[in-house]
A = this chain, B = another copy of it.
């Protein structure tokens, strides 16, 4: 299958690398084709790995991943173009974190979320919020953590969520650990979890962790 991964950071590289490893063709997109990080990744990742602009990646992919910084995601997707997103599953893994003086905050939260903003801005894209509650390494090697632990999906399109869940299983997430939280408004929950995630990281001393739902 052909994937377009928007974003060249740690998350984009981890996801694009895993997709190539699974046998998919991947174009990593940046603001402009020929970006240093995307070129280096494509050269190292082999013949199924390509690079280009956000628009190149979006046109190339049958399924798309938004792995840009959350505060830049809407701009990046506008550069990709609504036409290139239309009808496609768009996995939004971004968090709208703002790092400045003091504690990180979210640029959108509480009565809205980045996932909802993206779905509203691109109504023909099939947005599925997923994977934004774990670090890049846990996303693609969930088995490196002991025990079962959970990953969330949400979105308005049930078929799209099923396609994303199948991909997560290919990544190594057991089907029973994938939790469907409902429509895209649940992105408020998974994005607003980040401040707690950051403090748990501080308390545990590692970003290599996740949470498991323990029920009665």
**A139-175 contacts to B (CB < 8 Å):** 144-149, 152, 154
Interchain CB contact (< 8 A) of A203 among B181, B200, B210, B216: B181
**A176-196 contacts to B (CB < 8 Å):** 179-182, 185-186, 188-190, 192-193, 195-196
Q: Could you say which of A144, A195, A198 has the most chain B C-beta atoms within 10 Å of its C-beta?
A: A195
Report Cα–Cα, A42/B40, bound state, in Å.
Answer: 70
For this chain, the copies found in one complex come to: 2
**Given A109-B110, A109-B192, A192-B195, is A202 in contact with B216 using a C-beta cutoff of 8 Å?**
no
- Asked whether any CB of chain B lies closer than 8 Å to the CB of A44, the reply is no
Report Cα–Cα, A92/B208, bound state, in Å.
Answer: 30
Residues of B near A111 (CB, < 8 A) are: 103, 105
- Asked whether any CB of chain B lies closer than 8 Å to the CB of A1, the reply is no
Interface size class of A (residues with CB under 8 A): 35 or more
**Given A105-B111, A109-B110, A186-B199, is A145 in contact with B192 using a C-beta cutoff of 8 Å?**
no
Report Cα–Cα, A103/B184, bound state, in Å.
Answer: 12
User: Are A215 and B209 interface neighbours, CB within 8 A?
Assistant: yes
**A40-91 contacts to B (CB < 8 Å):** none
User: Are A212 and B209 interface neighbours, CB within 8 A?
Assistant: no
Report Cα–Cα, A146/B106, bound state, in Å.
Answer: 34
Residues of B near A189 (CB, < 8 A) are: 195-200
User: Are B213 and A214 interface neighbours, CB within 8 A?
Assistant: no
**Given A179-B203, A202-B182, is A214 in contact with B146 using a C-beta cutoff of 8 Å?**
yes
User: Are A213 and B200 interface neighbours, CB within 8 A?
Assistant: yes
- Asked whether any CB of chain B lies closer than 8 Å to the CB of A211, the reply is yes
User: Are A147 and B192 interface neighbours, CB within 8 A?
Assistant: no
Q: Which 4 A-B pairs have the closest CB atoms?
A: A189-B196, A208-B216, A189-B195, A209-B215
